[in-house]
Structure 1
Amino acid sequence: MIRIEICANSVRSALIAQEAGAYRIEFCDNLKEGGTTPSFGQIALARQQLNIKLYPIIRPRGGDFLYTDLEFEVMKKDIEQCLALGCDGVVFGVLDANGRVDKPRCEQLIKAAGKMGVTFHRAFDRCSDPFEALEDIIELGFERILTSGLEADVVSGADLIARLVKQAAGRIQIMPGAGVKPENLAHLIEMTKATEYHTTAKGPLESEMAYREVRTGSKAEEFMTEQTDPDTVSALVQIAEKYSL
């Protein structure tokens, strides 16, 4: 089976993705920062209204993946909330100052996750040695790794992704993400042999505000946001289904 995970930036986006056939939601806020942890209210409403798998991202801020003790405590508390709300899993990644997987801290977060599944996110793409990191993440017990192959997008990183899939040998899912589109999904499936793919599938969403006289920012910043595009999700799902036959 080829499965499509949608990175949704709101409850509305998550519901659109579900209706269009997505298999799983990575739930986040602040897409422009690479995704941060959504509010308690958003996670609670998403869990109430979604029937598909829900994996909130556990990331207290944008930037690097080397966290202070206080940030790490926030991450643990957020995971505890996700567990209490009935989420299917959580998404996180922690590195040390040398770009290696911080195994002791990851172990603590996995323990906090309890019965939930765990995905190691694109902190992987900041690792100094991806092949060593892969083995560390497998040893820790993660279900999957989200990666662009250490490049800006999955097309550029496809060669490395294919090598990671081969090294993983079924012990963990390697999930390409960053630039997955209907136009390149078939190529990525054939080249990497991965069976799960991650994308925002987002499109522009214009504000319904009638009054637009602003002096504090540009109109593009004030009156344009992003939301999951149902047609893009549907197109991706159709391609995935074709390759799943």
Structure 2
Amino acid sequence: MDLDGICDRPLLEVCVDDAGGLAAARRGGADRIELCSALALDGLTPSTGLMQIASTLDRPVYAMIRPRGGDFVFSDADADIMLRDIDAARAAGLPGVVLGANRPSGELDAGVLTRLCRHAAGLGMTLHRSIDLVPDPIEAVDLAAELGFERILTSGGAETAENGADRIARMVARAGKRLSIMAGSGVTPANAPDILSRTGVRELHGSCSAPAEANAGFATLAPSASRETRSEIVAEMVAVLTRHASRSRVGDRTLSSASS
């Protein structure tokens, strides 16, 4: 589902890994949600139950398809699991999936990705940050377009999107109108305007999270550093994107008037 044509500001995708995160992202006004489990491991495939709950939301939710933590070099057995997880996302009624696979050398694994993309036919597809491990992510944009991805999530090969902004801008230029480049990693309300201005992206991705509040007296084995999606941070990010779009429109009108 492409929201760009019905939204006059950059889009916000929020990644969540539980029902509370789903509710918070929706309340805050996220345009799209990336649904995972175990965000502490950079996101794994969500449970069938969570996918079913997510399918009732009034905005698109894309399921991460990643069967294990660690690298993105997937065996035939891993790929078989991913095919079944794509089936589960489709059966749950979700409109899209998030995919990625690398060869040991770092390049995108065209063979595995072709198999996954063909199996996901009819669903929207995002290529995740496996592209940030590729020796030349700009050139890899071409393969992503050929495989039918509608967007690429990337930090430009850097630790954060802010640090990788120059390369992201080059990926935007390479993509043209074939697919969207979505900047992610370390995106906050404070740095979002700079990332947008430097890259030209029309989509941002973030967790919009904060340290989870401790439940005093609750028995838990969860690490103290766990985080949770906050609706107020989502709403702040949406407001920042709206203000950025308004300033851009004013700037465009000023330039148009000056040149006429």
**TM-score where L is the length of structure 1:** 0.92
SS at 2:105's partner residue? coil
Deviation at 1:38, TM superposition (A): 0.9
> Residue 178 of structure 1 aligns with which residue?
185
- Give yes or no for contact 1:83–1:114 (8 Å, CA) kept in 2: no
Deviation at 1:84, TM superposition (A): 1.0
> Residue 227 of structure 1 aligns with which residue?
228
> Residue 187 of structure 1 aligns with which residue?
194
More relative contact order, 1 or 2 (CA 8 Å, 6+ apart): 1
Matches within 5 A, 1:121-136: 121-136=128-143
CA distance in 2, matches of 1:65, 1:51: 31
Structure 1 residues 187-229: Cα deviation after superposition (integer angstroms, max 9, x where no partner):
11111110000000111223425156x8xx7xx72x6632111
- Higher mean C-alpha displacement, 38-47 vs 143-152: 38-47
CA RMSD of aligned residues (A): 1.6
CA distance in 2, matches of 1:124, 1:224: 28
Q: Does residue 26 of structure 1 match 2:27? A: no
Q: Does residue 100 of structure 1 match 2:107? A: yes
Aligned length, in residue pairs: 238
> Residue 39 of structure 1 aligns with which residue?
47
Q: Does residue 65 of structure 1 match 2:72? A: yes
SS at 2:61's partner residue? strand
> Residue 240 of structure 1 aligns with which residue?
241
CA distance in 2, matches of 1:142, 1:239: 27
Deviation at 1:7, TM superposition (A): 0.4
CA distance in 1, matches of 2:41, 2:226: 14
Structure 1 residues 23-54: Cα deviation after superposition (integer angstroms, max 9, x where no partner):
00001111111111111111111213x11100
- Give yes or no for contact 2:13–2:204 (8 Å, CA) kept in 1: yes
Of all paired residues, the percent bearing the same amino acid is 36
Structure 1 residues 30-86: Cα deviation after superposition (integer angstroms, max 9, x where no partner):
1111111111111111213x1110001000112111111111100000001101111
CA distance in 1, matches of 2:245, 2:95: 24
CA distance in 2, matches of 1:184, 1:26: 21
For 1:51, give the aligned amino acid: D
> Residue 85 of structure 1 aligns with which residue?
92
- Give yes or no for contact 2:54–2:94 (8 Å, CA) kept in 1: no
Structure 2 residue runs of 5 or longer lacking an equivalent are 1-8, 247-260
- Give yes or no for contact 2:138–2:170 (8 Å, CA) kept in 1: no
**TM-score where L is the length of structure 2:** 0.87
